[in-house]
Each structure stands twice: as structure tokens, then as C-alpha cells.
Amino acid sequence: MTVLKGARERRVRTGGVELCVAELGDPEQPTVVLVHGYPDSKEVWSEVAVRLADHFHVVLYDVRGHGRSTAPQPLRGGFTLEKLTDDFLAVADAVSPDRPVHLVGHDWGSVQSWEFVTVRRTEGRIASFTSMSGPSLDHYGHWIQRRVKRPTPRRVGQLLSQGAKSWYVYLLHTPVLPELAWRGPLGKHWPRILERVEKFPGGDYPTSSLPTDAAHGAWLYRDNVRARLRRPRPDAYAHAPVQLITPLRDAFLSEKLYDELERWAPRLTRRTLPAKHWIPRTRPDQLAAWIEEFVLANESGRPVIEATGRYADRFGGQLVLVTGAGSGIGRATALAFAQSGARVIAVDRDAEGAARTAEMSRRIGSPAAWAETVDVSDEQAMEKLTEKVATEYGVVDVLVNNAGIGLAGPFLDTTPEDWRKVLDVNLWGVIHGCRLFGRQMAARGQGGHIVNVASAAAYQPSRALPAYSTSKAAVLMLSECLRAELAGQGIGVTAICPGFVNTNITSTARFAGVDAEEEKRRQKRAARLYGLRNYPPEKVADAILRAVVRNEAVVPVTPEARGAYLLARFMPRALRGIARVEPPL
């Protein structure tokens, strides 16, 4: 049997069973109780627990009949929600007799924790509750009844969808067969099934007690599900603040189950993750950050700071790094993520611009924002940056490779030095970011997203932009190749292709083959034309956040970029004809 490293164990007797309780961290700090689901044991929380132990008194216990806890005799009737509530109170009284605890539950740990946080006898013992992948059976029962009594096509579709996802519940109600399966081939192959389906590392989970745990745990369903769904309690209101974390790719539970949750939990904070069911194993960093933020907010008696951005439930607490963040699209993107509650690292070779973006990010909702100065074309500087970020801030969840420079002028007037400069920043800067930060994402094994800002010039040839278009076309193809390579590791890759956007890239772009005076004149003219077009960088930032949420591959931004993209796909000859037109100078 695997034991959590560094944990102190004790036994707690309650209701004819003996529970195995593990503790980490300082008992003088706020107590966080982690409750596991089915067919798990407390070790499912090990990665989250060690991350929380630096700041909290972390308590994990094996639910009755699981892990190192004993099973009730007889099994039938020994796993009711009432008896599970007795167990929780016994653990809470043993580990934190004088202070309420912060409760965290996953899967059936969340199902039973909803009972704890909605019954009268636990009032005053729970300071907050974080729920993931497990609804209240009472709330679920009312959800079903409302759809049965007032059916609409949408509601019927929701019922059928969740009914299909709940196939395993029906099987667990059959006699004997689940026990035989878990003690036989299913228990033997379960670790490999999880590794293949959920893509998470093994470590100290699952434990060797899995076949017995799963066989005993079938009674969680048999003792509770049908009875509660038929007669849900009418007063199942949460008496503590609730944080709901919803994995968007959960194969067992629909997001729609929580549509009306504010009715039952008026002090509700919502979070979402682009992840599958077993997020305590696949996303421990993100969970620990959200739990810590929620616990500290409730310990201080202040409300949780709600980000106001459109995607606050998706990006709240995530670590986002944006290059070229000192101005333009980069600054707008950093601020959009900050407004959605993300922690932001603003990177730019202009130290003052990066610092200003970080300061603005903190003011509008980011829980933390930092500025870093680096030239993305410098490989060694980028290596040092990735090491510093990983050490001081953590592994990046979203990387936005935005830094770029402009270069116009005929091919025959473009010098090798001009080519080196534009490729060093526009292409090699993206390569460095993808390679270094992407490797960290892959090694962490918790997914992530890479956004590479290309351009409509990537697929729209122009006699005036051979070097710039070539660099952006390379970024587009690099993004497509990376998307294919990293998909199996849960890392999305998006190429953003803006058209004419009102940023300062026009006023700093170089023009090959002309003297300094003529270059300055052309810069002013280009800046004036882009200003008249006046497409704001904030709209590009919105497209970037939306693309990450939807995991889109190629996103043209601005009407002219979308039009050129359609021409490139369906009328390439017409686009090549347009490319021959000499632009006004």
C-alpha cells in the first residue's frame, strides 16, 4: 500500500469503522480537507496536497471501505450519505476541533461533500467548499424533475445526453457483476485504461487496494442514488461559500447539470478547465492555485475577487506569458487575459513598456502580473527567461508569441541583413518560445495552449512584403505542424492572422531600398493609413482568448484577413493577381 510521502497518519473511529487520516503541513494554519471519489483512495490527491501543504494544514482520508480505512459490516446500508456525514464530522473534530475546515471534493468526494455543506448539523464546521466533477444528488434530482415536468426539445436533449454519460451508474446497480469485474480483469487493467484515456502519470496512484476499493464503493451508488433522485431534499442550500470547478471534457458529467446552481449556492464562484474527469491528477497546479485563492479569500472574510472578463471562469488563476507585450496587440492581449483573472507575464525588449503593461494588468483584475525584458531573437536570453519563469512563477498555461517587426520593400532591394533581422524576430522568436515553453508544458503533463501571432500576409502574397510575408507564412506552417504534434499531450496551438490593425508596428517598420528620409515618410504614411482603418488591437486580443477557449487552429482577424483567407483556399489565382498590384507609396 502506498503512503503519502511526509504525511502523518492517524486512525479515527466512527460508526463501526476506522478511518485512515493523513495530514501534511502546519496544524496551526487553516485546515483543508480533501475528499476522494470513486474508485479512488486519498492518494488521488497527492499532487494537489503537496502543493497546498506549504500554506495550509492539509488533511486527506480514505472514505470508509477504501484504502487503509475499514469497511462497514454488512456493506449494504453502510455507505449512506448520513453515515458519510458522520465520518466527515468525526475527521473534522479530530483534526480541527476549534476551527471550521475548508472542504474540497472530487467525484463522489464532491457528491458527499454537497451533503455535508447542505445539512443543518454541519453548519459552522465548514468555512468553504470547492466542488469538482460531482453534483449534489438533491440538486440533480430537482434538475431531472424540472425537465420531466416541463419538457422542451433543449431540456429533453440535456436529459438524454446526461443519461448516456451515466451509463456506468446503471451497471453499478446490478448485483455481483461490478464486484467480479473490479476484482478481476477491470481492476487489473484500470491503471492502463486511465493512462490511455486521461493521459496522466501514475506515481502513487492508483494504489494496490483499487480492486477492493472499487468493489466496496459500488455501494455508494446503491445506497444513495435512486433514493435521492426520486425524493430530493427541498432545502439543500449550501451554508458556506462554494467554488465550482468544471472540467469541460468530462466524459461522465454534463456542464448543464450546474446551470441552475446559483439557486442552491448563492455564494458561488465558477471555474472551468479544458480537461477530462480526473483533474486532481492531470491539473494539480491549477487546482492548488484556485483552492489556495478561495481559501485565503474566505479566511480573510473578504469576498473572492471576481474577474470581469468574458472568460473569467476559464482563465482565472492561469499563468499567461505574452511576448511583445509593451504595446499594440501584445499589450491588449495581456490586459484581456488580466481582466479574465489570469496571472500575466508581460515580456518585451522595451523594459518600460513591459512594466507599464504589468502595472495596468494588476489594476484591472490580474491577481499577479510581472514584467520581463528580453529580446526574443536571442536564444540564450530566452533560455534564461524560461528557467526564471519556471522557478519563480511556474509552468506557463498559455503562451502568446506575439513579438514581431515589419519590413517592406522589393525582394531585390532586401539585403541579407534585412532578412536576418526579420527572420530572427518574427520566426526564430516564435521558434524559441514554442520550443522552450512548449517543452515545459509537455513535461508537466497538464496540457496548455500556444498562440502564435502570424498575419494575413502569411497566406496573402504581396510584391511589397516578401520578407515579412515569408516570416509569417513560416509561423503559420510551424503552428500547424506543432498543433498536430502536441495534440496528444493536450496542448493546443493556434495561429492568429490579423489584417490591418492600428498599432505602432507601422511607425517602426523598415523599408528596404530607400534612404532614411524616404523611409520616415513611408512610415508616417503607413501609420496614417492604418489609423484611418482604425481596427483596434483589443479586437485581436478578444479573438485570441476566444481561440484558446475553442482550441481553434487558424484564426483570420479583420474582414480583409478573412476575405484573403477565403481567396487563398478557393480562388488562389485571384489572390496571386492582386499580389502583382503595386501598392501606393
Residues taking part in catalysis:
468
* Ordered strands of the 242-247 beta sheet: 8-14, 17-24, 57-61, 31-35, 101-106, 126-132, 242-247, 268-273
H-run or E-run covering 491: strand 491-498
Three-state SS for 242-311 is EEEEEECCCCCCCHHHHCCHHHCCCCEEEEEECCCCCHHHHCHHHHHHHHHHHHHHHHCCCCCCCCCCCC
Beta bridge partners of 344: 320, 369
Q: Is the peptide bond before 74 cis (omega within 30 degrees of 0)?
A: yes
Cell numbers that stand for 300 in this block: 480573510
Q: Residue 80 CA to chain centroid, in angstroms?
A: 34
Q: Is the peptide bond before 280 cis (omega within 30 degrees of 0)?
A: no
Nearest to 276 by CA among 255, 256, 248: 248
How far is it between the farthest Cα atoms of the chain? Answer: 91
Cα–Cα distance for residue pair 128/83, rounded to 1 Å: 21
Hey, which bits of 350-447 come out as E strands?
Answer: 369-373, 398-401, 407-408
Q: Residue 542 CA to chain centroid, in angstroms?
A: 18
Cα–Cα distance for residue pair 61/484, rounded to 1 Å: 41
Beta bridge partners of 401: 452
Cα–Cα distance for residue pair 478/438, rounded to 1 Å: 13
Chain length of the chain: 585
Which residues contact residue 82 at a Cβ distance below 8 angstroms, ignoring those fewer than 6 apart? none
Q: Are 127 and 100 in contact (CB under 8 A)?
A: yes
Which residues contact residue 412 at a Cβ distance below 8 angstroms, ignoring those fewer than 6 apart? none
For residue 31, the SS3 value is strand
Q: Are 35 and 48 in contact (CB under 8 A)?
A: no
Which residues contact residue 544 at a Cβ distance below 8 angstroms, ignoring those fewer than 6 apart? 333, 336, 400, 451, 453, 494, 496, 555
Between β-strands 448-453 and 398-401, what pairing exists: parallel, antiparallel or unpaired? parallel
Output Rg (C-alpha) for the chain, integer angstroms: 27
For residue 44, the SS3 value is helix
Between β-strands 8-14 and 17-24, what pairing exists: parallel, antiparallel or unpaired? antiparallel
Q: Are 60 and 21 in contact (CB under 8 A)?
A: yes
